[in-house]
Structure 1
Amino acid sequence: MNKALIALALGGLAIGMTEFTMMGILPDIAKDLQIDIPTASNLIALYALGVVVGAPTLVAFTSSHSPRKVLLFLMLLFFVFNGIFAIAPNKLLLLTSRFVAGLPHGAFFGVGSVVAARLAKPGKEAQAISIMFTGMTIANLAGVPLGTYVGHHYSWRITYAVISLLGLVTFLALYFWMPKLEANKSNNILKQIGYFARWDAWLMVAVIAIGTGGLFAWISYIAPLVTEVSGIPADRVPLIMILIGLGMFFGNIMGGKLADTISPSKAAIASFTAMAVCLCVVFFTAHITYLAYPMAFITGMISFSIGSPLQMMLINNAKGAETFAASAGQASFNIGNTLGAYLGAVPITMGYAYNYPSLVGIVMASMGAVLAYIFLAKVVRPQMNL
């Protein structure tokens, strides 16, 4: 395997851990800082805001530099500000460092997606991108449970110190393994930003933000779903999370192969449709305890198969602004995260059981499939006929 792709996967592992470990150790942080959990949850929101802000801006302002230099700069930011977060002596520095630590997230995956596609053999671009995202799936499978355990039994600061060091390891891997690819000399800020003057760019934002919301409507409430509806003991929730992470690992690889085989747009339609079907099964079978385990794996696998196809759709559609589009896609994923969690909470606040957010997920995933089909019919096919 290309060592440069391994370096990108290490970055995915580090970023996945810094984003998702926070959910597992939020009560420990709240206790340590002597604040309530809703206040501590601002750390999650600030990171997401950092992703949304950093994805387009950092890519736009670094577009004239070589991809290797940009990736090194982004991972240096990650290393420094996760390290500051781990030792921050007051709340202001804690909140500030958490926001800045989120800035490199989308830009790293945006630049990394384009680099992975450039390093891949012809016809294997989506599979190369999926290798980078394998790091994030490993984070969910092993890194997040381990970080949560350390944060709960020892200190959350140790967890984030380790995450910061993982950023340093990624920096060194990029330094030694990433080839010195030439920067695209035709890139400039106005050209990058100009991508969003096109209607099809906003269609892609809608595809990602709405469609992937189906995943987050389900996974945001997975713990109460399996404990209160499926009747699984609370101490087995980590097993459910491991099964989801394992499913994401295989789904990520499957999505890359599917996109290279039948085209990214068709793969996205298939993944969104399958996600809606899975969530439908979850809704109607959530009360059957033994089915919760295989459905956690299957739904995780189907839901994460969408990542590589969507990245390739963005890259293929944004000639001259590929990196900006791919990074903006990461911001759109985080919008999907917010939308899915928020809309998924609506039936819960109305008094319905925790399987009802899956209904919201069905609607969002189905809308993603429809929007992806519109993109295929109105954007991809006309371009193929030119």
Structure 2
Amino acid sequence: MKKSLLALACGAFAYGAAEFVMMGILPQAARDMHVSIPTAGNFISAYAIGVCVGTLMLIFGRKMGPKKLILIFMAIALAGDLFSSFAPNATLLVIGRFVSGLPHGAFFGTSALVAKTLADPGKEAKAVSLTITGQTVANMLGVPGGTFIAEHLSWRLAFLILAGVAALTVVLVAVWVPHVEPVKDAGILGQFKFLTKPGPWVILLAVFTGNTGIFSWWSYVSPWLQKVGGYTSGMVPLLMMLAGFAMVIGGLVGGHLTDHWRSAGTAGLGQCLSVIGLVLIFFMPGNRFDTAIFTFIISFALFFISTPQQLLLAEAGKGGGELIGGAAVQVAFNFGNAVGSTVGGGMLNMSHMNYHFTALGGIPFALTATILLAIYSLRYETDTDAYERLQPIDV
């Protein structure tokens, strides 16, 4: 099981770094492609749109084993990262980013199913959080590393290295991940049957609005750290490492709490924390200490909510829609990513490049997500099995 989770975590690292590295190298890529910072936000949005479109691959791959699907997804990521590395202009870089994002949601939905299948009873959330740890480690090491490489060598080299990680994952998955039976074939329409209920839509809307709120600010975190925090571009990789460390801790703590409490309740707590962070970013004038603390808080919250939301949709899709359910979370996540970067770019243009306003644009969305998760938890998670878990004590 540990080797299998390590292989899946390696893939999560490849996708996590590919998704988030652009935030750290945005100034260099924008300069090289001769576009403005708000326009370069399209490099972020293109990946997110690819995630949304690529999930449809699961419809046609529903009869394949999860292991084979993961190998296909990693091969596509390899091709997209290579294309991005050698893209000669902004248009082709957008295309490369789109291709890289295509298998993202499908990968995480499938890897969550494999992790749950291999996990011991009662430790499903922990197993899923361990695979997602690859994504958080990508933010702790991969994104700062990519930012450092972009600052001192070339942002293109960062994508070339990610292609190498994708190739390594192909090998590890082929060797370490055992055969897992395909999910029940419920037909094309049967995969989406769980979406006829209101509960999953509440969670998906919460994921979308929550990430729209966070990514309105996070998409422009590199210039924000420099313009508001006063950091030099050479210091940004260290701040990205701090953010990645917060994501690792947030992901592990969120997974542990989910195994012992309400999934939506856990996600709601994390989302509330992100609202507080965004409010502080907008109202505080900002200095080196403040911006470092705010970066840590919101980064922690971002992945604290990841595992419970992933499990909520995977559970909702039982009976043939498990893969679609798990992938749907990533679709909503990255759709929010795309919209958030657009909202943040619009706030920058409206405020004449005042980077405090990226947080202001995200606050209403993040607050909406918190309310939705609270409503879901109160409506659907009232039975926590607390009485059944009580242990008798002899005196």
- Residue 270 of structure 1, CA deviation: 1.4
After TM superposition, list the pairs within 5 Å mapping 1:158-197 onto structure 2. Answer: 158-197=157-196
Normalising by structure 2, report the TM-score.
0.87
The separation in 2 between residues aligned to 1:28 and 1:225, in whole angstroms, is: 15
After TM superposition, list the pairs within 5 Å mapping 1:1-386 onto structure 2. Answer: 2-29=2-29, 41-55=41-55, 57-87=56-86, 95-320=94-319, 321-345=321-345, 347-351=347-351, 353-381=354-382
SS in 1 for 2:102: helix
Sort the Cα spacing of 1:132 and 1:49 in 2 relative to 1 into closer, same or farther, 3 A.
same
SS in 2 for 1:341: helix
Amino acid in structure 1 at the alignment position of 2:375: I
Sort the Cα spacing of 1:214 and 1:102 in 2 relative to 1 into closer, same or farther, 3 A.
same
The separation in 2 between residues aligned to 1:35 and 1:367, in whole angstroms, is: 33
Contact 2:262 2:377 in 1 (8 A): no
Sort the Cα spacing of 1:358 and 1:24 in 2 relative to 1 into closer, same or farther, 3 A.
closer
- Residue 89 of structure 1, CA deviation: 6.7
Sort the Cα spacing of 1:282 and 1:179 in 2 relative to 1 into closer, same or farther, 3 A.
same
Amino acid in structure 1 at the alignment position of 2:271: F
- Residue 114 of structure 1, CA deviation: 1.5
Structure 2: gaps (5+ residues): 386-395
Amino acid in structure 2 at the alignment position of 1:8: L
The separation in 2 between residues aligned to 1:31 and 1:289, in whole angstroms, is: 25
Aligned-residue CA RMSD (Å): 2.8
Sort the Cα spacing of 1:177 and 1:221 in 2 relative to 1 into closer, same or farther, 3 A.
same
- Residue 375 of structure 1, CA deviation: 1.8
Q: How many aligned positions are there?
A: 383
SS in 1 for 2:98: helix
The separation in 1 between residues aligned to 2:254 and 2:216, in whole angstroms, is: 21
SS in 2 for 1:185: coil
Normalising by structure 1, report the TM-score.
0.88
Sort the Cα spacing of 1:160 and 1:358 in 2 relative to 1 into closer, same or farther, 3 A.
closer
Q: Deviations over 1:207-228 (max 9, x none)?
A: 1001222321332333444433
SS in 2 for 1:212: helix
- Residue 379 of structure 1, CA deviation: 3.7
Contact 1:216 1:340 in 2 (8 A): yes
Sort the Cα spacing of 1:194 and 1:160 in 2 relative to 1 into closer, same or farther, 3 A.
same
- Residue 348 of structure 1, CA deviation: 4.0
Amino acid in structure 2 at the alignment position of 1:20: F
Sort the Cα spacing of 1:302 and 1:286 in 2 relative to 1 into closer, same or farther, 3 A.
farther
- Bigger Cα displacement from structure 2, 280-289 vs 312-321: 280-289
Contact 1:21 1:148 in 2 (8 A): yes
- Residue 170 of structure 1, CA deviation: 0.4
Amino acid in structure 2 at the alignment position of 1:104: P
Q: Deviations over 1:123-182 (max 9, x none)?
A: 211111111111111111111222233344334443222211111100111111111011
The separation in 1 between residues aligned to 2:295 and 2:93, in whole angstroms, is: 34
- Bigger Cα displacement from structure 2, 66-75 vs 20-29: 20-29
- Residue 373 of structure 1, CA deviation: 2.0
Contact 2:262 2:384 in 1 (8 A): no
Sort the Cα spacing of 1:160 and 1:225 in 2 relative to 1 into closer, same or farther, 3 A.
closer
Sort the Cα spacing of 1:278 and 1:64 in 2 relative to 1 into closer, same or farther, 3 A.
same
The separation in 2 between residues aligned to 1:285 and 1:91, in whole angstroms, is: 35
- Residue 64 of structure 1, CA deviation: 1.2
The separation in 2 between residues aligned to 1:131 and 1:365, in whole angstroms, is: 26
Amino acid in structure 1 at the alignment position of 2:9: A
The separation in 2 between residues aligned to 1:281 and 1:27, in whole angstroms, is: 25
SS in 1 for 2:173: helix
Q: Deviations over 1:91-121 (max 9, x none)?
A: 7765544322211111001111121112112
Sort the Cα spacing of 1:154 and 1:241 in 2 relative to 1 into closer, same or farther, 3 A.
closer
Sort the Cα spacing of 1:280 and 1:59 in 2 relative to 1 into closer, same or farther, 3 A.
same
Contact 1:60 1:193 in 2 (8 A): no
Structure 1: gaps (5+ residues): none
Percent sequence identity over matched residues? 36
SS in 1 for 2:99: helix
Q: Deviations over 1:264-303 (max 9, x none)?
A: 1111121112222233333444435423323322332123
